[in-house]
């Protein structure tokens, strides 16, 4: 497994020597709200193009970590260097309801090619022909794809995904996960995916972190080739292991695991 990882990293470094610098670098990062310590002594590096999933129970600080990396929260202690062009996809799509799909994607893009770039990004997430639809005319899954296009059109070096599939129905979620995997392979941003779905983490990520007790309690790499199968024995075994680490032994309801 590590040989596969080594080869891929080497390949990327050959393409772009400067990319050896990590996109994200955290040293001893902590965050508390009043007396409640949420994160404490977090050390973390994300290499360019690395796909990292963050698992943890509710309230374990997953979203707090993501918000720090998105610079939406500046009340931290410790050292933090984050992507120069971070982009965020939230749990809910957060589209401007008074702007149509393509204008939502084009928000903040400058220059005469803003509109065609936004239209191309929409086409990439499978929404060509829906450029002038209002958000309320789109389904939940389509809205989330607009949000994904809005993030990717900026060519981010760091893509932050905050439980982006959790509000979608099971079928839509599967296709949205596949879409993210495809787009990641094409654009190669570093990704930090916050999720509470262990299977999702293993399907998508190179590396899975487990947040517990305000710290990164566990950090494992998974270098299986993509696309990955949910019934791959290696994935199933890892899933069981991760669930056990999250304190969940029951293995009978894969979709309901740790909510």
Partner 1 sequence: MPTAARWISPLALLALWQLASATGVLDPDTLESPATILSTARELIETGELPEALLVSLRRAMAGLALGTAAAIVLGTIAGLTRAGDALVDPPMQMLRTLPLFGLIPLFILWFGIGETPKIALVALGVVIPLYLNLVAALRGIDPDLREVAHTLRLTRREQARHLIAPGAMPGALVGFRQSLGVAWLALIVAEQINADAGLGYMINNARDFLRTDIVVVGLLAYAVLGLLTDAIVRVFERRALRWRGDAMGRGVTA
Instruction: Give the residues lining the site for partner 1 (CB under 8 A).
Output: 70-72, 86-88, 90, 92, 94, 96-100, 107-108, 132-137, 150, 154
Task: Compare residues 26 and 105 and give the one whose CB is closer to partner 1.
Answer: 105
Task: Compare residues 135 and 141 and give the one whose CB is closer to partner 1.
Answer: 135
Task: Compare residues 52 and 95 and give the one whose CB is closer to partner 1.
Answer: 95
Shortest separation between residue 256's beta carbon and partner 1, angstroms: 27
Shortest separation between residue 168's beta carbon and partner 1, angstroms: 18
Task: Compare residues 189 and 235 and give the one whose CB is closer to partner 1.
Answer: 189
Q: Is the dihedral of CA 122, 164, 49, 20 positive or negative?
A: positive
- Which of 82, 65, 72, 76 has its CA nearest to residue 210? 65
Task: Compare residues 97 and 225 and give the one whose CB is closer to partner 1.
Answer: 97
Shortest separation between residue 9's beta carbon and partner 1, angstroms: 28
Shortest separation between residue 96's beta carbon and partner 1, angstroms: 6
Shortest separation between residue 154's beta carbon and partner 1, angstroms: 8
Shortest separation between residue 61's beta carbon and partner 1, angstroms: 18
Task: Compare residues 48 and 83 and give the one whose CB is closer to partner 1.
Answer: 83
Return the HEC string of the chain: CHHHHHHHHHHHHHHCHHHHCCCEEEEEEEEEECCEEEEEEEEEEECCCCEEEEEECCCCCHHHHHHHHCCCCCCCEEEEECCCCEEEECCCCCCCCCCCHHHHHHCCCCCCCHHHHHHHHHHHCCCCCCCCCCHHHCCHHHHHHHHHHHHHCCCCCEEEEECCCCCCCHHHHHHHHHHHHHHHHHHCCEEEEECCCHHHHHHHCCEEEEEECCEEEEEEECCCCCCCCCCCHHHHHHHHHHHHHCCCCCCCCHHHCCC
Q: Which residue shows structure tokens 């670098």? A: 25
């Amino acid at each position: 497994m590590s040989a596969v990882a080594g080869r891929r990293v080497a390949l990327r470094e050959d393409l772009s020597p400067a990319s050896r610098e990590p996109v994200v670098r955290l040293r001893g990062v902590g965050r508390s709200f009043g007396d409640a310590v949420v994160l404490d002594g977090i050390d973390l590096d994300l290499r360019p193009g690395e796909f990292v999933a963050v698992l943890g129970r509710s309230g374990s600080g997953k979203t707090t970590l993501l918000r720090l990396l998105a610079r939406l929260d500046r009340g931290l202690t410790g050292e933090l260097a984050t992507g120069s062009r971070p982009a965020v996809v939230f749990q809910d799509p957060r589209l401007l309801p008074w702007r149509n799909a393509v204008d939502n994607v084009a928000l903040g893009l400058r220059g005469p090619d803003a509109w065609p770039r936004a239209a191309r990004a929409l086409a990439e997430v499978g929404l060509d022909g829906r450029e002038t639809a209002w958000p309320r005319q789109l389904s939940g899954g389509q809205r989330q794809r607009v949000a994904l296009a809005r993030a990717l059109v900026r060519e981010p070096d760091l893509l932050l995904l905050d439980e982006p599939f959790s509000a979608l129905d099971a079928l839509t979620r599967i296709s949205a996960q596949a879409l993210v995997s495809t787009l990641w392979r094409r654009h190669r941003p570093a990704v930090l995916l916050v999720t509470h779905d262990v299977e999702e983490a293993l399907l998508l990520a190179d590396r899975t972190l487990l947040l517990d007790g305000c710290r990164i309690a566990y950090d494992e790499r998974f270098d299986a080739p993509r696309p990955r199968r949910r019934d791959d024995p290696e994935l199933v075994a890892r899933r069981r292991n991760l669930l056990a680490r999250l304190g969940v032994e029951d293995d009978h309801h894969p979709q309901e695991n740790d909510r």
